[in-house]
Structure 1
Amino acid sequence: MCYVIITCWTLLWTLLSIASFMMIIASIMSPYWLVGTLRKAGSESIYDNQTGVDPSRIFSPSIGIFNRCTRLHHYRNIDERETCATFVTEFNMPDDEFPDAWKAALVFFAFTALILLFVTVTSIISLCTRSVCGKSIFTVSGLLQSIAGLLCIIGLILYPAGWGSATIKKYCGEYSSPFEKDKCSLGWSFYLVIAGTVLTFLCAFLSIKADSSTSSRKVEEEVLEGKNLICVV
């Protein structure tokens, strides 16, 4: 017989597991990891020529792990507009165009996303079943979340290691180097992936609480009473 068991801990763990997965995915796909120096279309930087610059034409380009946002300059009757697209044409691009450290970081983040996708599925399945292959579904999922968190940390370390490439120097300045971003600033995507990593480790801890909550005396009593839907506060 199938029992649907919902407790405060299992519900919290499920929702936060889904949230952490969405945060990691959103940060990976976003081009706002680094925000470049202010500039106008067609100029390397606003600091190159501050005279006669129309404030409405000033913008800050941004770059992510594999995509970036910039502004197309005015041409004939086409107005300036921001455009975001990938700058990666192939994975084996030169280090100056697509830093090797970013390639490695992207691989680690991709594995993280796959693991968290699997955990998201198991967290939903956990409402109906508490074991997989003879092991607690909460324990297995918590272990996978811990591994995903470690992979995220490695990716976060590798990302600033690629700041010395020629591509980053165009955005941040000639003094950019590994772990030194010069004139650039960290975008919200970088902070989002940090928050997602912390939340992933929190979910790994909550999985223990979720597992014990489904084995409480109150749950067992309602199972013995023959209830199929069990909600325990």
Structure 2
Amino acid sequence: MVPPILLLWALLSVMVAGACTFTFLQPFWIMHLDCIHAFGMISYCYVDSDYENSRELCTAYGGYYHLGNIPSGAWQASCVLYGVGCVLMCLSAFLAICTVIMIRAHNKKLSLLSGYLQAVAVLVMGAGLLIFPLGLNSSFYQHYCGKASAPYNFGHCVVGWSYMLGIMGTALSIFCPFLSQYTDMNATDLFS
């Protein structure tokens, strides 16, 4: 029988890896109050009025995905940190699934390795989330959200749902390294 904490840890690992990776790719980290402009780590959205019916277009900064096209050095650093954290969380989620499937003798070693990866991922993603608002004083951002915008001051814009989902995913992923330490506990150990 598979220990319940192992199942809980594996499920939580997969869920936070998916949520954090999903939010990394979304352009709704910061949104303008008029809901026309939205900014993310690697892309942004705007309304293109060149068409008969104005439509929302989302594209990578500079037209194609390249780290140098991101308009702020703080956003570039945040993109690298949060992206590396997402890769580590996805790798540890894969290892968590392997731990559930593998022979019981190797479960503890694999879960500990995955837990250490998750601990590093949490720290790296947290750093990325904290660095992201430092780029709010870039000229690109100030063009859309006003000259009053500064680090941790959003100007005419507000925090978007993607940024909040990234915070929540990172906060939930804090529990993963702790749960990985107890994956070998049986159900009888929990209630005795």
Tell me whether the two structures share a fold, i.e. TM-score over 0.5: yes
Q: Distance in 2 between matches of 1:126 and 1:169?
A: 48
- Greater helix content: 2
Aligned to 2:87: 114
User: Alpha-carbon deviation of 1:6?
Assistant: 1.5
Normalising by structure 2, we get a TM-score of 0.88
Q: Distance in 2 between matches of 1:106 and 1:130?
A: 38
Q: Distance in 2 between matches of 1:110 and 1:181?
A: 23
Secondary structure class of the residue paired with 1:65: coil
Q: Let me know the Cα RMSD of the aligned residues.
A: 2.1
Q: Distance in 2 between matches of 1:213 and 1:113?
A: 30
Structure 1 segment 1-233 matched on structure 2, within 5 A: 5-38=1-34, 59-75=35-51, 78-88=52-62, 89=64, 90-93=66-69, 98-127=71-100, 128-130=102-104, 136-213=109-186
Aligned to 1:230: none
Normalising by structure 1, we get a TM-score of 0.73
C-alpha contact (below 8 Å) 1:32/1:62 kept by paired residues: yes
> Counterpart of 1:60 in structure 2: which amino acid?
I
C-alpha contact (below 8 Å) 1:130/1:137 kept by paired residues: no
Q: Distance in 2 between matches of 1:155 and 1:140?
A: 23
Consecutive unaligned residues in structure 2, runs of 5 or more: none
Q: Distance in 2 between matches of 1:171 and 1:72?
A: 14
User: Alpha-carbon deviation of 1:131?
Assistant: 6.0
Secondary structure class of the residue paired with 2:74: helix
> Counterpart of 1:91 in structure 2: which amino acid?
L
Aligned length: 186
Q: Distance in 1 between matches of 2:105 and 2:153?
A: 47
**Cα distance per residue 1:101-145 (max 9 Å; x no partner):** 11111111121122112111111111223566x961111111111
